[in-house]
Structure 1
């Protein structure tokens, strides 16, 4: 889908510049030449979620005396750029690569080549498909998070028949499919249910979500429930809903747990969100690479870093925390 060659060239240039910057910063930090080198590849370097993940990885690397090489995609969905980043990191001699894959299938060949070269590869946040394409995954159980969102929205609607719009993320990612499927399970619906009155992909982008919601609410003015892939999408959708004079009509659920998202829950823009813990993913990933470098121990399997439903409107039978707790535990 991203056939524009110039964009790929730009993405690679961005990776190389980011890699040089990461190396320069590490050198200024005083790491030794024989320290363990850990690679981190995120989807973008602007999303607060991935900023937090990178900051936590850097802090853990500093604590463990390791050197972090941090690269990021030029845009959400930059699969070719991530492939180039993997190849770049293998060439730099990293012991392990932590990656949040833009596509759960599009980087598999590059990952296999890295593993064949003796590099341990760990997926953070987003699982590969198949999951065992990497040595291990440290991530939120995204289906469980989606189920929590769906159950809360369903309970919040009470006896009102749901008319649901779904603002998804980027097609092809396991995070997107797991959250989508989980939400529907929590609501007791399927993709073919007549209660689903609209759906759009937003890449998790606030502006795209606002535009999508403006269009959807014109086509389905009866909408009373909204699934969002993340909090930026929820914020964009809220702007469209408010402008349409339907803020009191639509119940919004989301996933992320950023401090901005928690503030939106507290103000009533979002009814509930499901908090993730990206710092745990990064910390555990760095620790796993350092352990592998020291004694050859490889991490394995799926490692759930947890999630927590956040709302100031709790419902019976569904465990949650309020925004006061969330403010003390949010990220970004």
Structure 2
């Protein structure tokens, strides 16, 4: 590869790139470097890099655009990269390495895996770059300086408590549609839901569960398979809203939607509309825009004073439903549509 300008290294990578002021997104992009060493404190300019799991998932789009807007408001330089697909750890490692070369002083990342990018994160922190995890935790949590995220166990617990209350005293007959087996978010939400509904993995009330990777089509197929031996289902746990839409489609095809209470987690505008339309009973809203804004504010402060946030920062969650139940705090879908994903 050649060079352009005094600090104009060219790097070809298949990553989605969105720079403040740019009009669109592109893959396999030649990236222009800010150049210079990463510095913080003494009023330094904030140079912020964001790495998301993908650049197409609406959740991460909302997070990215919130970060971009806050960076622009604060006069910070901002660049966003993403893996090529959900689970692309190698792509995220490459993105971190590129941002280090660009001279950022803060990296914000939604890690695909709790452990898959730890080496690259350590190398960045060893150079004095602050690293903040968004949405998903690393393992160990101390691998990053701080985490701004939903407490996913608490969100799962809220979903479970709602479904239990909505059953109005009926014994649960539960199907669980999980995400990617072994992922931190999947484990936390699954565990929290069981706590909220008052069951364990070994409870006879759990009729079946299947990992569907958060995908609507896989969720529909998985639900169809499980319904062949669990037609008496009256409660459905779903990891996220695409999963809930798949579950609803499978139940609708069998004429079983009236007997089953479906819960979910995410709180996107489409998900809130689904709840309003009666496709599922409730969703637990997250606030990715808030995560991004708070993290960019922390990055600006780090550049200015060298002060870092520490530990886990819970950005909150809220049950959204038009069928409120006693003992579960919630908001209706009108509020949800005004606030989906913290917009």
Give, in whole Å, the separation in 2 of the partners of 1:44 and 1:138: 18
1:86 aligns to what?
Answer: 96
Larger CA deviation: 210-219 vs 54-63? 210-219
1:171 counterpart = 2:168: no
Please give the secondary structure, in 2, of the residue aligned with 1:236: helix
How far apart are 1:24 and its partner, in Å? 6.9
Provide the residue aligned with 1:38 in structure 2: 48
* Matches for 1:126-275 after TM superposition, within 5 Å: 126-275=136-285
Q: Answer with 199-208 or 123-132: which moved more.
A: 199-208
Paired residue secondary structure (1:213): helix
- Secondary structure of residue in 1 paired with 2:257: coil
CA distance 1:182–1:153, shift in 2 (3 Å): same
Question: How far did 1:72 drift?
Answer: 1.3
Bigger radius of gyration among the two: 2
Partner of 2:19: 22
Once the two structures are TM-superposed, the CA of residue 214 in structure 1 deviates from its matched residue by 1.5
Query: Does the CA contact (< 8 Å) of 2:20 and 2:68 recur in 1?
Result: no
Partner of 1:3: none
Deviations 1:58-89 (A, max 9, x none): 00010111121111121111112111111111
Q: Point out the structure with the larger helix share.
A: 1
Q: Deviation digits for residues 254-285 of structure 1, max 9, x if unmatched?
A: 01111111111111111011111110100011
User: In 2, Cα distance between the equivalents of 1:52 and 1:158?
Assistant: 36
Aligned to 1:5: none
Counterparts of 1:295 and 1:40 in 2: how far apart (Å)? 21
Mean CA deviation greater in 118-127 or 157-166: 157-166
Number of positions where the alignment pairs a residue of Structure 1 with one of Structure 2? 314
TM-score by length of 1: 0.90
Aligned residue number for residue 26 of structure 2: none
Aligned to 2:334: 324
Distance of aligned partners of 1:293 and 1:172 in 2 relative to their CA distance in 1, 3 Å threshold: farther
CA-atom RMSD in angstroms:
1.9
Quick one: distance in 2 between partners of 1:39 and 1:51? Answer: 15
- Residue in 2 that maps onto 1:107: 117
Superposition deviation, residue 306 in structure 1: 0.9
Q: Note the C-alpha offset of 1:171.
A: 2.5
Determine helix, strand or coil for the equivalent of 1:25. coil
Match of 1:289, SS state, is helix
- Determine the C-alpha separation between the residues in 1 that align with 2:303 and 2:286: 28
Corresponding position of 1:315: 325
TM-score by length of 2: 0.87
1:279 aligned onto 2:276:
no
1:103, 1:172 within 8 Å by CA — same for their partners in 2? no
Where has structure 1 moved over 2 Å in runs of 4 or more?
Answer: 21-24, 32-36
* CA shift digits 1:168-216 (9 cap, x unpaired): 1122322211111110000111111121111122221212211211212
**Residue among 58, 64, 81 paired with 1:54:** 64
Matched residue, 2:83: 73
Distance 1:198 1:191 in 2: 10
Task: Determine the C-alpha separation between the residues in 1 that align with 2:288 and 2:21.
Answer: 25
CA deviation profile, 1:137-176 (whole Å, cap 9, x unmatched): 0011111111110001011112222111111112232221
2:38 matched residue in structure 1: none
Aligned to 1:8: none
Contact 1:100 / 1:123 at 8 angstroms: preserved in 2? yes
Q: Structure 2: 5+ residue runs without aligned partners?
A: 1-11, 24-33, 36-43
The question of whether the paired residues in 1 share the 8 Å contact of 2:107 and 2:132 is answered with yes
